[in-house]
Every structure is written in structure tokens, then in C-alpha cells.
Structure 1
Amino acid sequence: MKKVTIQIVTYNSEKDIIKCINSINQQTYRNIEVIVIDNNSTDKTVELLLNKYSNITLIINNKNLGFCKGHNIGFREGKGDYVIILNPDVILDKHFVEQVVKAMEGNPDVGLISGKILRMEQNLITTNIIDSTGIVMARNRRAYDRGQGEEDKGQYDEKNIIFGVCGAAAVYRRKMLEDVKIDNEYFDENFFAYKEDVDLSWRAKLFGWKCLYVPSAVAYHKRGWKESSRKEIPLFLRIHSIKNRYLTIVKNDNIISYLKDLPFILAFDIGIFVYCLFKEPKTLKYILCTIKLLPDTIKKREQIKIKTKRLKKFKNF
């Protein structure tokens, strides 16, 4: 039986973390190790974990390293053949791990899996409203969660290949993670948080890995804020979200494809700029942040190109 690592990055997650870990402990699949990486929580998250669970590995950071660096620590620590990353506000159906392992075992070219993620209310009441059935990439390079906000009526009940997986509950093959890491980073640590799941999914695709949607693997996500409540998101995270759109494109996009879709991309980017200018002028800092990180991002793009060229030569040998 293959080992599965489930890792969670926490930051002031005392309201959610116990329910999350309890759902892991109730899984029908038994060969699971749990790693929690705490980003210097100031609430009772660490105290609760230390007092309640002896079967987890708890890594305590002395400052908030961000979602990306936190999970990279977990990726290096874990021993599982498959890795599941969870937000602390996610609860798994008891068959989730069993279903994704079965899908991985039957599809060796699949490196990433998304289950059916449904919404959960703040009071932990589960719903049939879809949170994500995988990530879709539009021609304007906007990445979004397929089906988000729709009532689940069985419209996404077929397995199929998708672009990417949502980082709230993502499943990765260890071999894929080792294959696609750049500068010993699985998630790009320049991202800090947001769109790192899009970046990794895109990079995996470039390396020839497939991403599979498995509807029988069900999870429930509380989500810290709603789509209509953008201003509830801290300013620095909104800046990261916009900045990371451009870093993702620079690292992974194909020049020919980009030029072909340029009218759609420009229209969307102009919309972002105008919105920030008039509605959230402080977020215009994303421009400076993006420019500052461009040299390092271009270097990473070159490494991706070199590695994928070698891969193609090997496959054609």
C-alpha cells in the first residue's frame, strides 16, 4: 500500500484545523502521514495540535513564510508516494484518499488530481454548491475554478483531463513534483500565496504530466472569503494575486500562443489596471513587484525550457 502524505499550512487556523485533521483520521485509506506547517500563528492553533494529536508531524516556523514556502518545507519533509495539500478549512469525505490513490495507480501519466470540491458554510454545514472541479485557463489567461458557484446537479460527474488543480485540496504524484521543481522549489516562493497552484499545474503540463478530475473524490471547503467580498482579502494578498498572474504567464506561456490570444489578454490586463487605478489604487504596487521579480522569473523560464527540451529529446530517443 503506497504511502500518502497530507500536508497543511496553518496561520491562525484554530477554528478549522481540528475538523480538518479529524476528517483525515477518518479516511478509509490508512497509510497516511500528516504534516502541519504552522506559519507563526498567534492564536491557539499550535497549542491545540500539540495537545490533541500525537500522530502528526508539526513544523513551527518563527515567522509567516507564506503558503508557497510553507508547503515547500512540507514537500521536502514528506515521504509519501502521493502528496495531498489541504487548506485548514477543508474537510474530506472519508473515501477521498482511497479514490485519488486508485486513480493515480491506474493512470501513471497523471501527475495531478482534483476531486469535486463543494462549498461548506461558516457553521460547517455542507452544501451542494460547487467550489471547484479543477482549474480552467481562458484565452485571456484568467485562471478560474470550473463550476464555482453552480449547484451540483451531476454536470461534472465524469472523469476528464483538466488544466489544473485548486490548491485548497490538490493531489500530486511525488515523481511529478521532483520532475518539475525549479531551483529546488516546487511552488515558486516568489509567489508567497495565490496562483501557485496555477503555476505548478501549467509547469507540469509543459513537462508532459496530465491533470485528472476525479468526481468520486469529494471534499468540502469553507473558504475564508467570498468572491463578492474582495476587500476582505488583505491588501498585500491582493497585490500578490495580481502580480502572480504575470509571473505565471512569463514563466510558462508559449510566445506563439500568447501572440495569438493577445487581444483577449490586453483587454483583460487593461481592465485590471483601470479597476486598480480607480477602485484600489494601493494595489497598483503589483506593477513594481512584478518588475522587481522579472529577472528571476525569466531565469526560471529558461530553466523550464532547458528541462523540457531534454525531456523531449529523451522521449524521442
Structure 2
Amino acid sequence: MPSVLLSLVTWNSADSVEACLRSALAQTYTDFELWVVDNASRDDTCARVEALAATDARLRLHRLAENTGFCGGHNYSLDRTRSDYVLLVNPDVEMQPDYLANAVAAMQRDEQIGTVCGLLVQSQEADPYIDSAGMNALPDGRFGLRLHRQRLSQAAPEPGYVDGADGALPLFRRRFIDDLRVEGHFFDPRFFAHKEDWDVAWRGRLYGWRTWFEPSCRALHPRQFLPANLRLRNHLASAIKTDAVKNQWLLLIKNTTVAQAPRLLLRAIPRQLAILCYSLLFERSSLPAYRYVWQNWQQVRASRQLIQARARRGWQPAGSAPTSPAPAPTTPHYATLVPH
């Protein structure tokens, strides 16, 4: 069994997937297999993947009959493999050839490192803007991209521990994946897409895991989705905006500890009330997010109880406690608000 699984989820990704796959297959660290899980694309994504798969046995295409989102697609891969490490790969990234080798080496620094993230830049120019250098936890229950839109020469990012990893290209330790499972799932399928990396980062911190930022791991990622940008937000599909609202509430309900609650909610609730008012006045298409949280309150509360109980046990070194086993593979079927 290869030591690393590269998991790539596609959905109508024909315009970028070939460049992404070629950069993945060109990695100097070669002990990996690459799974492309396609979420029922309507373009020629699968044809492009199959053409490359015919040239490299490490690449395998898995077609899903419906769109299960970022979360469902990656859960499909995680539930069916047992590699030591998993690198999540967005279809719009292009890795430098030593990205994976440097990430695996960084993971060996400390058994408490569950995630390694690299330096993502927005262009190939000599002094590009940084897309992300990991994430910072904000005091209102959100996460922000570290050094986003700063020039590389000015920021000069150094390796070190950060609060979390952006979901575009993180390397996860398998024991971290299994420890973070809730009701069998690593990614909460209720998120579908967006802010699931915040959820993983928050839960990992609660459990005592750490995230290492390694700038020698470098990749191109011309990010487009930033829901807080109102000018861009007006051009986004309503389902994306609904997920962004819904998922923030899921984050707060599941992950806020009793100790965190007074200070965190004092900052979070005013912002969330402002978002509700904005939705009522200008973005009524996002209102189903609140109905979803209300209708699924009992299930979300049950997830919270499991997360908080695990968090109270703190850091669990290897061999000290069993991790949650992966569920038996099944055909995925995850409910979402509207199809993406």
C-alpha cells in the first residue's frame, strides 16, 4: 500500500484538472496513489482524467452518481483507503515537484502534528501575492487566511505552528483523520462545501493536535471564492451563499466549549445577527440556512456532545487510546440544501 493518498475531488473542473494532475504525478516523492473522485461532472472532466490515467497506473478515477460536495467526495476516499498520510488536492492547484516530499518530511517533526500546510501563491510571477500560509483562528469563531494578498517578498513567511490549514492542499496524518471522525465522518457531510477546513482546524485544536506551516511546500492557487467580499458575493450561486451561512452556525454549535462560550459568543452573535438582517433585507436566498439548522438541531447537538466529550480527554499520544474506525464503505448519499 502506498504511504500517501492524494485525494482530488472534481466537479466540472475540466479547465484546470489536467495541469493539477500533471503537477501531482510529477512529484519527486513517488510512493503515492492518486484518487480523483468526480461529483457527477457535466463537462469533459472525466475524459481528461481518464486520458492521463491511461499513462500512469497511480491515477484512478472514481465516478459518483451525484454531487456530494467537497466533504462527501473526500470522505469517499478517506473511508476506502488506509495510507499513512492523505494529501487533499483542489483541482485548481499546481504543486511544485517537491511539495509532497517536503510535507512528509515536515510531518516527522512531531507526532502531535496532524496537519502540514504549504505556501499557496496566486500567480507564477517573481514576487506573487500570497493566497494562504495556513490559517489564523479569529476571536468570533471564524478562521482567516494567513498573509492573504501580501506580497511574498514583504511577508517572508517562516516555518512554524499555525492555527489551521486551508483546505486547498493540506497533508493529514491518518491517525489525525481517524481521531477527528464524528459518527464515522472526518468531514461533516452537512457542510457539503465551504468552511469544512475551519471545522477540521477547530476540532483538531480542541483535541490537542497541531498544524505546521512549511513554506518549502509551495503551490499555485488562484483563489476565487471569498464569501465575505460583498462585491464578489453578489455573483455567487445562492447555494454557495446559503452554505456559508449555515456552516458558520454548525461550527459555533458543535465546537464552542463551555469555557470559550462567554467571550467567543459575545463576539460571534452580533456578527451573526447582522448577517441575518442582511439576509432578510438583501439576500433572502440565504434564509434556508436558518431553517436547516432549526430542522436539524437535534442531530447537530448530538455531534456537539461527541466532540465536547472527546475534547475533554485532551491530547492522546499514539497507543494511548483507540481511534475511531472508518465506517464500512457505502454508496454516499448526503443531504444538502440545494444541488451545486
TM-score per shorter chain, which class?
Answer: over 0.9
TM-score for both structures, normalised by structure 1:
0.92
1:69 is aligned to 72
* 8 Å contact kept, 2:133–2:157: no
CA RMSD, aligned part only?
2.2
Q: Return the alpha-carbon distance in structure 1 between the equivalents of residues 312 and 260 of structure 2.
A: 18
Q: Which amino acid aligns with 1:108?
A: E
1:302 is aligned to 305
1:271 is aligned to 274
1:169-190 deviation line (CA, Å, top 9, x unaligned): 1111011101110111000001
Q: Does residue 110 of the first structure (1) align with residue 113 of the second (2)?
A: yes
Answer 1 or 2: which has greater helix percent: 1
Give 1:275 deviation, angstroms. 2.2
* 8 Å contact kept, 1:92–1:218: yes
* 8 Å contact kept, 1:247–1:294: no
Give 1:233 deviation, angstroms. 2.1
2:289 is aligned to 286
Consecutive aligned runs of 4 or more in structure 1 exceeding 3 Å deviation: 124-127, 224-228, 308-316
Q: Does residue 260 of the first structure (1) align with residue 267 of the second (2)?
A: no
Change over 3 Å in CA distance of 1:262–1:156 after alignment to 2: farther
* 8 Å contact kept, 1:118–1:127: no
Pairing of 1:130-145 with structure 2 (within 5 A): 130-145=130-145
* 8 Å contact kept, 1:190–1:293: no
2:182 is aligned to 182
1:151 is aligned to 151
1:70-118 deviation line (CA, Å, top 9, x unaligned): 1000112233211110110011111110111010012211001111111
Q: Return the alpha-carbon distance in structure 2 between the equivalents of residues 110 and 147 of structure 1.
A: 21
Give 1:154 deviation, angstroms. 5.0
1:119 is aligned to 122
Stretches of structure 1 that go unaligned for 5 or more consecutive residues are none
Stretches of structure 2 that go unaligned for 5 or more consecutive residues are 322-340
1:26-84 deviation line (CA, Å, top 9, x unaligned): 11111111000000001001111112223212110011111101100011223321111
Give 1:125 deviation, angstroms. 6.8
Q: Does residue 220 of the first structure (1) align with residue 223 of the second (2)?
A: no
1:155-181 deviation line (CA, Å, top 9, x unaligned): 252122211111111111011101110
Q: Return the alpha-carbon distance in structure 1 between the equivalents of residues 98 and 155 of structure 2.
A: 21
Change over 3 Å in CA distance of 1:2–1:50 after alignment to 2: closer
SS at match of 1:255: coil
Pairing of 1:223-242 with structure 2 (within 5 A): 223-225=223-225, 227=229, 228-242=231-245
Q: Return the alpha-carbon distance in structure 2 between the equivalents of residues 61 and 126 of structure 1.
A: 40
Q: Which moved more, 1:303-312 or 1:159-168?
A: 303-312
- Percentage identity across aligned positions? 27
Give 1:293 deviation, angstroms. 2.3
Q: Return the alpha-carbon distance in structure 1 between the equivalents of residues 248 and 53 of structure 2.
A: 38
Q: Does residue 87 of the first structure (1) align with residue 90 of the second (2)?
A: yes
Q: Return the alpha-carbon distance in structure 2 between the equivalents of residues 225 and 300 of structure 1.
A: 28
* 8 Å contact kept, 1:133–1:156: no
* 8 Å contact kept, 1:6–1:35: yes
TM-score for both structures, normalised by structure 2:
0.86
Q: Which amino acid aligns with 1:223?
A: R
1:14 is aligned to 14
SS at match of 1:19: helix
Give 1:282 deviation, angstroms. 1.6
2:41 is aligned to 41
